[in-house]
Structure 1
Amino acid sequence: MERILKKTYRTAHPLLWMLLGVGICIFAACGLEMFYTRLFPHIVNEKQILLQSPERVLAFFLFCYYIFLHFVIQPKIIYSFIYKYRFALALAAFLICVALQLHGSSMSIWNTYLFKGDDPSRFQEPLFGLTRGIRSDEWNVFTPLAMSQEFNDYGITNSISRAWPTDMLTIYNQPVWDITLIAKPFYWGYLLLGPAYGLSWFWAGRMIALFLVTFEMFMMLTKGKKGYSVMAAFLIAFAPVVQWWFAINFLIEMLVAGQLAVLMIYHFMNTDHLLKKALYAFVFALCGLAYIFALYPAWMIPLLYVFAVLAVWVIVTNFKNGKRRKAEWFYIAGAFLVIAGIAGFWYLRSEEAFALTMNTVYPGSRVYTGGDGADFLFSYTTNLATPYLATANPCEGAMMYGFFPLTEIIAFTYLVKKKFKDLLVALLLALDMFFLIFAVAGFPVALAKITLLSNTTVRIIPIICLIEIFVFLRILSVTDNPLVQKKWLRIVLVSAGVGISVIAVYSAAHSYYTSILPESMPMAYWVGFVAVMSAFMLYFFVQRRKKLKTIFIICVCLLAFLSGMFVNPVMRTTDAIYDKPLAKAVQEIQEKEPGIWIGADMTSNFLIANGAPTITSTNIFPALERWEMFDENGEKQDIYNRYAHIFLYFTEGETELGPGPSGDTFSLYLNPNDLYRLGVNYICASPGHVIPMENFGGSLTVLYEDQNAKIYRVNPME
């Protein structure tokens, strides 16, 4: 009995220590809360007073108690328990997040533009972290669109967005009651529980699913190496590119669906049970549909290459496992028929939306031939700093820790040693080189189109980083011995790695794209990252035994965690939108007298989140017939035939459409008399927004006003 206790616990009286730990950790949590509320605003240079938060104290307590348990219970017991019950624990974490309505939206940025109210909910501000104004595609487009669906009964066609029938199944495909919902589990919360819980379901579900699926994928890839599989889950789930682009462009859906599809192929190949084969084939079909519905070619195309390589490797290496039966072909055919049938139905239903998008100036006419990626190859070296230091556009430089070009050197050395007999590493390295040539040197237009890479952008670089993660973790899983045996060769390779690390960091620090660099980066950071890269290189040329392996895994997990965890804020509820007086006023007006709205000064997309059909909300498709009223000869189609954020200005002159400050914008200079041509019933703008009334044939009545917004009713022409 005593021996069993020693194997389980590290103290003589574990129960007493665990009870004592509760008090210790409560005290520690209160100290951390005091530290956070007083020092965090100074650390991030934000002039605000943080209120005490019981949720934050509870989070600090759970963190402290988790650490404390390592001093009472043997760590092996803790992690064996977590591994054994990982799915149940993940489900519990998911349910808690949804119950508390926790999410990572930066919606509290609306507090910058709109009045919070005289007695605002404390949930209008983040519990943890900072809101990210740069992620306007999330808080100003994607999230308001999803919320508008609540006022649309989650129908396929939404006339709230753009105040024009808008297809919700493409581009920013949104929660919709439709057959496609079968492959969109992250949207189920919206339809079952409404926007507040649905938003949490969307954020928490995707993060937990990505972590779990990645872990399972690498358990297969590394042949059960739990430590390296956890490291992979951290490297991918907390990758800066995943976190900075978390809510849009569906990168998470692609990573989850692609990896899960490969896992289904693996299990399909390794079971003799026909019912299980049928289940795996069905899940594969759902993964295929989820991947297609993501519909973001810049990542879909290169990721498809990656998952195809993984699938080929799984099929080749597992073909002789289990019994091969004729019934398998029916399951395989059935899976592809499900994919083709539902995807075909989806395409036919949304054919007009696809046609509109493909014929736009932006993004439809874009053809990418590569050749401009060299300056982004080392931008991962800045990613540890961008969550904490001011950066003009950290999103474009967000990557994964693939450690280019160290991984390529390691992989080539490994393949030479193995005489190129590791099929997976060989295939992945070949794909890596193919993508690198495209990204750095570029392809002719014809070749870019044949390979479909013409549909990508420079965002192919994070996919190269992903390939590198697969490569170096595969190599680490094969053996714990040094990559080469000769000491002099080890010294040469490690020295070369140190030199390359210096070049990589120097190149990143002097990048042509200064917008992806944090401001005032201290020299100590660059030196520190050279040390990180050098240590990574060294690890492959030493004996990777117990303690060193544990330290390495912990350090890499910590690097990934600190680079991604604090990118998005932790918010609770949707009060940052629905608790505002303006939100209540808009909903009340729209309920009593429904009408068409137009907005200026950052109000347009806020209006659609509250159910108000708004002409100037982001036009995810161009409303060509509407804008042709002011362009009878079609001379200005290049201005408005695009995905566009619309800037509204009132003018005494004729209504005119003009270019905006970027490719996804245009300006509307509107004569107030044309409000009637557009069918506008309500205007929402800041109180200082000038509406020229001298030659206006109608009149405006103020229905609502606060210090940041004013609502007018457009009265009939006199």
Structure 2
Amino acid sequence: MQKISWRCALIGIWIITALVYIGNTWSPSSYAYPLRNNYAYVDIKPTLGQARPIRADEWGVVTPLTQATVRNQFERYNKTSLYQEDLRINYGLPIADWGLAFKPTMWLYGLVNPAYAYSFHWFAVFTLFITGYAFLFTRFGASKANAILLSFGLYFTGFSQFWWNEKGPILAIFPWVIMPFLLNLRLRWQLIWFYYAAVFWLLTNFYPPVQISLAFAGFVLLAAKQPRLFQPRTLMLVLVAAALAAGTVGIYLYDYLSATSATIYPGSRHSMGGGVGGRFVISWIFPSINFSWVYNSLIGLNISEIGTVGMYYYIAALFFLDYKNFSLLGLDRAKRRVLLVLVAGLTVQLLWMLLPIPSVFGKILLWDHVEPARMQYASGVLLTIIVLYVASVVGLTFSLGRLLLLCTFVCVGWWLFKYPLGTKRGEDLFILLPLVLLYLFARKRNDLAHEGLALASLIFGAVLFGRFNPLQSAWPIFNLPPNEVVKYLQDQEEKNNGVLVFPHLHAATANGLGFRALSHTNAVPPMAFWNRHFPDTPTNERNAIFNRYAHVVPDLMPRPRLQQTDAVQVPMDRFVNVAHANVVTHFPDNLSQEGGFEVSARYKDALVLHGWAGWTSAPEGHGLEVVTYPPTIGTVQFTPMVRADLPLNTQQRISALNGFKVMIPHAENAPLQCISLVSLDAQSGERRLLNNPAEVPTCPSTSLRGSIPSTPLGNPPQDFAR
């Protein structure tokens, strides 16, 4: 009766939580970041926490493409996009086709406001994670309470949280793929469940590096716990079901897979072993040594890249193991076999992560498609189950001496691995508090020792990692009235024959807001489009730049270029009539100064600047006068730019719409040695001199005009255009 009461209480808590979460349309999205920083929706912010710019895969791609799918009436081809691309891509989207049958977390789209459907999707993913891993842990010896604690503990680890709002479905659905084989079901029902869950897993977010490594982890877990599956007849049926699942996904994603296989990125991407440094392995037992309390990386890589599955549960369990019972593992053949299989699987993964193994050897397990750092989650799952299994078989025992040794170990680890990085923060030492409190609570109740350690580790993980993802309402994601900036962009789109060409509208965010924008993220490169617009670029160079998964970044620049592996920059003037700045030889020496500029980019034959000016008119009335020495040799391009760090009010001199970019061409052998920019307000006729950055010399005004030499000005501080 008591068990039933606890179960009912848990179900009741879950239902209430779901109603509150979905009722408020909450989500883990960081979409407030582009709304605030690119579109000047300065009042939109998370209910709790803060939007993370590093999570651009979510706010710049997955969420905007979900918006685009909704605007596209859930059709397969994106009619709202300039590129008219196929939305059957690696990111699972709520397209109204037969694939939706395998995406149950997205079934509310089209039935309710998409904000509720979006929120339901993320709450369902969270629920799948907690319940799926809790089930998995019970099959390896955890009590139901401990299984739930460890499931939450795995959720509050670096890899899970730092990648959650994009790769969360991959992590959450995995245990449901192998779950049927751990249940007492007829084989036919196991195979049907396995087939559906595998397709669900692959279609909701297709990302082979994590899924291949998790598939290996699943193989190891089943080999350890269910060896009967590897009897020839049964194994053959399982392989047939796996092939059918892969075939279903292959049919659905055929166009995407065949197109990307011929790309430079990701089609030509292959990995070899190694590259996971020692600090990453150490962070499995000291979870926060590589970053600060506010998620600043301390080792150079960005915060997502340093996420691992680290929990204090691992070392806490090792310190409190009842070692006199270790013979139970050695004497019991079945238990010994389970442990050996688990350890062997983890060892093989560690070898791939740590050693420079040639990619040809990785092909056996498809690991040549698995960047070693992406294997960290799968190896963390195996490590968690190994520690859980050993602790469940051997048992734990509390003593003050062991507690003191553990606390000393934690302090020494912090001193050795965190303190030398220059930070005096003590977030790593917070674990000592829950450890001591739970020891005092459970020291005379060894039957609660395991749950106590899991709870202490969970408390630390929740405090440390639980603040990373925000609690963001999805209502403004799908129900956003246009503000002044969006209205201006709509006007620009209309004036350019229905195509928006504007700088710094990151990734697919413009299309998500309904624009037919040049700025976009193309999972499949539209090579015919690029061939048509850049016929003068040599074929090999054009292929090297554009034949890849890429964010399209329009900008003022002389020619297209590859900005980074997944981003290409394209000249705006190929797609829109770019305004021209006035080239003048001098400016009055009595101008007031307001605004300023910085250097954006340097090319061999051009310099690009960005800044803001004190215009009082609408952007159509903004003008710019440019003085350079040596004199510029061509047309100076000039475009507005949203400055969301400024107020959203065009009637003020300091306005979000008063940003600009300017490209000044120069001869390759005659770089610019001085620049002066003067803002011209067409409405009032006012001129103001913009402030130069320290590294850019100012050209002489009218009063010094006669002093301009026929050769470059004296000896300037540096040739800043190089």
TM-score by length of 1: 0.69
Q: Does 1:311 align with 2:222?
A: yes
Q: Residue 494 and residue 297 in structure 1: after superposition, are their counterparts in 2 closer, same or farther (change >3 A)?
A: farther
Deviation at 1:228, TM superposition (A): 1.6
Deviation at 1:428, TM superposition (A): 1.3
Give the secondary structure class of the aligned counterpart of 2:347. Answer: helix
Deviation at 1:113, TM superposition (A): 2.0
Q: Deviations over 1:106-154 (max 9, x none)?
A: 111134324556xx8x6x2211111111111111111111111011111
Do the aligned partners of 1:371 and 1:440 also contact (CA within 8 Å) in 2?
yes
619-628 or 101-110, which moves further after superposition? 619-628
Give the secondary structure class of the aligned counterpart of 2:570. Answer: strand
Partner of 2:257: 354
One-letter amino acid of the structure 2 residue matched with residue 564 of structure 1: F
Deviation at 1:415, TM superposition (A): 7.0
Q: Deviations over 1:351-383 (max 9, x none)?
A: 332133222222222221122112421235353
Deviation at 1:303, TM superposition (A): 0.8
Q: Distance in 1 between matches of 2:406 and 2:124?
A: 43
Do the aligned partners of 2:555 and 2:572 also contact (CA within 8 Å) in 1?
yes
Partner of 2:126: 207
2:310 to 367, 390, 401: 401
Q: Distance in 2 between matches of 1:701 and 1:506?
A: 51
Q: Does 1:130 align with 2:56?
A: no
Do the aligned partners of 1:184 and 1:290 also contact (CA within 8 Å) in 2?
yes
Deviation at 1:584, TM superposition (A): 6.3
Q: Residue 546 and residue 382 in structure 1: after superposition, are their counterparts in 2 closer, same or farther (change >3 A)?
A: closer
Higher helix share: 1
Q: Deviations over 1:264-318 (max 9, x none)?
A: 1122xx24xx6xx655443222111123323212211111111112222332379
Q: Distance in 1 between matches of 2:227 and 2:434?
A: 34
Q: Deviations over 1:34-86 (max 9, x none)?
A: xxxxxxxxxxxxxxxxxxxxxxxxxxxxxxxxxxxxxxxxxx96x86343454
Q: Does 1:383 align with 2:301?
A: no
Do the aligned partners of 1:131 and 1:569 also contact (CA within 8 Å) in 2?
yes
Q: Does 1:150 align with 2:70?
A: yes
Deviation at 1:461, TM superposition (A): 2.2
Deviation at 1:476, TM superposition (A): 2.1
Alignment of 1:422-571 (within 5 A): 422=335, 423-457=337-371, 458-481=373-396, 502=412, 506-507=416-417, 521-522=423-424, 524-526=426-428, 545-546=446-447, 548-571=449-472
Give the secondary structure class of the aligned counterpart of 2:541. Answer: coil
Do the aligned partners of 1:650 and 1:691 also contact (CA within 8 Å) in 2?
no
Q: Residue 399 and residue 543 in structure 1: after superposition, are their counterparts in 2 closer, same or farther (change >3 A)?
A: farther
Q: Residue 193 and residue 171 in structure 1: after superposition, are their counterparts in 2 closer, same or farther (change >3 A)?
A: same
Q: Distance in 1 between matches of 2:407 and 2:430?
A: 15
Deviation at 1:210, TM superposition (A): 0.8
Do the aligned partners of 1:82 and 1:89 also contact (CA within 8 Å) in 2?
no
Deviation at 1:649, TM superposition (A): 1.6
Give the secondary structure class of the aligned counterpart of 1:442. Answer: coil
Do the aligned partners of 1:235 and 1:401 also contact (CA within 8 Å) in 2?
no
Q: Residue 405 and residue 263 in structure 1: after superposition, are their counterparts in 2 closer, same or farther (change >3 A)?
A: closer
Q: Distance in 2 between matches of 1:369 and 1:580?
A: 48
Partner of 2:515: 612
One-letter amino acid of the structure 2 residue matched with residue 557 of structure 1: L
Give the secondary structure class of the aligned counterpart of 1:169. Answer: coil
Do the aligned partners of 2:329 and 2:393 also contact (CA within 8 Å) in 1?
no
Q: Residue 580 and residue 318 in structure 1: after superposition, are their counterparts in 2 closer, same or farther (change >3 A)?
A: same
Q: Distance in 2 between matches of 1:220 and 1:186?
A: 26
Q: Residue 606 and residue 256 in structure 1: after superposition, are their counterparts in 2 closer, same or farther (change >3 A)?
A: closer
Q: Distance in 2 between matches of 1:147 and 1:563?
A: 32
Deviation at 1:634, TM superposition (A): 2.9
Give the secondary structure class of the aligned counterpart of 1:647. Answer: strand
1:256 to 155, 162, 172: 172
Q: Does 1:170 align with 2:89?
A: yes
Alignment of 1:96-245 (within 5 A): 96-114=20-38, 116=40, 124-161=44-81, 163-222=82-141, 225-245=143-163
Q: Which has the higher contact order (CA 8 A, sep 6+)?
A: 1
Q: Deviations over 1:577-596 (max 9, x none)?
A: 72441456767998999833
Q: Distance in 1 between matches of 2:199 and 2:106?
A: 14
Deviation at 1:545, TM superposition (A): 0.4
Give the secondary structure class of the aligned counterpart of 2:376. Answer: helix
Do the aligned partners of 2:499 and 2:518 also contact (CA within 8 Å) in 1?
yes
Do the aligned partners of 2:72 and 2:78 also contact (CA within 8 Å) in 1?
yes
Deviation at 1:550, TM superposition (A): 4.7
How many residue pairs get matched?
585
One-letter amino acid of the structure 2 residue matched with residue 295 of structure 1: F
Q: Distance in 1 between matches of 2:396 and 2:113?
A: 54
One-letter amino acid of the structure 1 residue matched with residue 104 of structure 2: P
One-letter amino acid of the structure 2 residue matched with residue 426 of structure 1: L
Do the aligned partners of 1:148 and 1:609 also contact (CA within 8 Å) in 2?
yes
Q: Residue 534 and residue 449 in structure 1: after superposition, are their counterparts in 2 closer, same or farther (change >3 A)?
A: farther
Greater gyration radius: 2
Give percent identity, aligned residues only. 17
Deviation at 1:211, TM superposition (A): 0.9
Give the secondary structure class of the aligned counterpart of 2:107. Answer: helix
Deviation at 1:396, TM superposition (A): 1.1
Q: Residue 178 and residue 134 in structure 1: after superposition, are their counterparts in 2 closer, same or farther (change >3 A)?
A: same
Deviation at 1:639, TM superposition (A): 1.9
Give the secondary structure class of the aligned counterpart of 2:305. Answer: coil
One-letter amino acid of the structure 2 residue matched with residue 572 of structure 1: S
455-464 or 590-599, which moves further after superposition? 590-599
2:269 to 342, 366, 374: 366
1:667 to 569, 577, 585: 569
Deviation at 1:470, TM superposition (A): 0.9
Give the secondary structure class of the aligned counterpart of 1:472. Answer: helix
One-letter amino acid of the structure 2 residue matched with residue 363 of structure 1: P
Q: Residue 429 and residue 193 in structure 1: after superposition, are their counterparts in 2 closer, same or farther (change >3 A)?
A: same
Q: Does 1:285 align with 2:233?
A: no
One-letter amino acid of the structure 2 residue matched with residue 664 of structure 1: D
Q: Residue 625 and residue 82 in structure 1: after superposition, are their counterparts in 2 closer, same or farther (change >3 A)?
A: farther
Q: Deviations over 1:389-422 (max 9, x none)?
A: 4347211111222569859988998877622732
Deviation at 1:434, TM superposition (A): 1.1
Q: Distance in 2 between matches of 1:613 and 1:412?
A: 65
Q: Distance in 2 between matches of 1:463 and 1:532?
A: 30
Q: Residue 135 and residue 254 in structure 1: after superposition, are their counterparts in 2 closer, same or farther (change >3 A)?
A: closer
Deviation at 1:454, TM superposition (A): 1.3
Partner of 1:247: 165
89-98 or 400-409, which moves further after superposition? 400-409
Q: Distance in 2 between matches of 1:601 and 1:184?
A: 33
1:646 to 552, 559, 564: 552
Deviation at 1:561, TM superposition (A): 1.6
Deviation at 1:216, TM superposition (A): 2.0
One-letter amino acid of the structure 1 residue matched with residue 350 of structure 2: L
Alignment of 1:9-24 (within 5 A): none
Q: Residue 523 and residue 146 in structure 1: after superposition, are their counterparts in 2 closer, same or farther (change >3 A)?
A: closer
Deviation at 1:508, TM superposition (A): 5.9
Q: Deviations over 1:431-486 (max 9, x none)?
A: 11111112111312221222321111112123222211111112222243559xxx
Q: Distance in 2 between matches of 1:401 and 1:378?
A: 9
Is there any run of 5+ residues in structure 2 with no aligned partner, and where?
579-610, 613-618, 627-632, 642-647, 661-722
Q: Residue 342 and residue 203 in structure 1: after superposition, are their counterparts in 2 closer, same or farther (change >3 A)?
A: same
Q: Residue 148 and residue 442 in structure 1: after superposition, are their counterparts in 2 closer, same or farther (change >3 A)?
A: same
Q: Distance in 2 between matches of 1:135 and 1:371?
A: 25
2:530 to 609, 627, 632: 627
One-letter amino acid of the structure 1 residue matched with residue 65 of structure 2: L
Do the aligned partners of 1:101 and 1:573 also contact (CA within 8 Å) in 2?
yes
One-letter amino acid of the structure 2 residue matched with residue 473 of structure 1: L
463-472 or 597-606, which moves further after superposition? 597-606
